[in-house]
Amino acid sequence: MSKTYVYFDECFKDHVITLDYPECSARVKNIIDLIKNENLKNITINEPDEIDKNLIYAAHSEEFVNQTLGRFPQNQEIVFLDQETPVSQGSLKATLKAAGAGINACDAIMNNKTKNAFCIVRPPGHHACYDRSMGFCVFNNVAIAARYLINKFNMENIAIIDFDVHHGNGTQDIFYNDPKVHYYSTHQYPLYPGTGDTNEVGVNNMINVPLKSGTSSNEFQKIFDEKIINKLNEQKPNFMIISAGFDAHQNDPLANLKLNENDFKLLTDKLMAVAADHCDNRILSMLEGGYDIQALEQSIIIHLKELQK
């Protein structure tokens, strides 16, 4: 059995290729070649399927989903779903395959084909709310996957851990009153989108850990242990989903935390230890942010090296 499945499709490069935008094709342009150059022994690279839109309805308003799918351009036009979320002719396939990657990964993990999976997708998802696209995100990939686990596999104790530097307001919105999902987020605060204060607790299933600008590696790791790892060990989840944003890196242009690649190695190791203790190593990781290309590439490689051990 392969330890780690990686899901990637060339169409992710075709999502909005003409704009000079932080969430750009260069983010994933070279990543498969870089992975292959590492000669990792315990991975299998797969192309994801397009998702059945009925599975999107589990996490989003049906009216919103249908309206959004109808807004993708069929020509060279760029359409903005909100002021930060452009879509192009190549975006529809990418969006459906980004969400589909999570579904494929859930099936592979639950059917014991692999222990964990990493989906290197565009567009990202964690800002997409129940009835709104925003912040580069069309649909919420991790939320769709979590609802799929609940509906198909009767999962009732899922943990979503989001270490993207921006708060995943969309994921919080979708699960705010759902005790089957605990959402954990470390994020710079205040920063876009302005949510994620400690008083946003849902039904005691939202664990928000706002961080001040300039937070160092040592400070972050201590806080992560105290506020995230300890709480996860109390929850004892039976499936773990990671919103893997790498924009807390010190070189990222959109924020001001001071992490480096080794921090993402440590985070991955800590989360894998929790998964080993409580959920038979079951981890689905999905790419979110990260906008310095070199830092993103190096961080993805380190994250994947740890997952495939």
DSSP 221: H
Place of tokens 């009153």: 177
User: In terms of Cα–Cα distance, which of 27, 24, 22, 7 is closest to 298?
Assistant: 27
DSSP 261: H
- 83 burial (CB, 10 Å; 0-12 / 13-18 / 19+) is exposed
Kind and range of the H or E run holding 116: strand 114-119
Catalytic residue among 126, 127, 166, 303: 127
Q: How far apart (Å, rounded) are the C-alpha atoms in residues 269 and 80?
A: 38
15 a catalytic residue:
no
Q: What is the 3-state secondary structure (H, E, C) of 122-183?
A: CCCCCCCECCECECCECCCHHHHHHHHHHHHHCCCCEEEEECCCCCCHHHHHHHCCCCCEEE
CA distances from 63 to 123, 246, 270, 289 (A): 21, 32, 39, 27
Q: How many CB atoms lie within 10 A of CB 154?
A: 8
Is the CB of residue 211 less than 8 Å from the CB of residue 130? Answer: no
- 161 burial (CB, 10 Å; 0-12 / 13-18 / 19+) is buried
Place of tokens 């990939």: 141
CA distances from 281 to 68, 227, 269 (A): 35, 21, 12
Residues acting as catalytic residues: 127
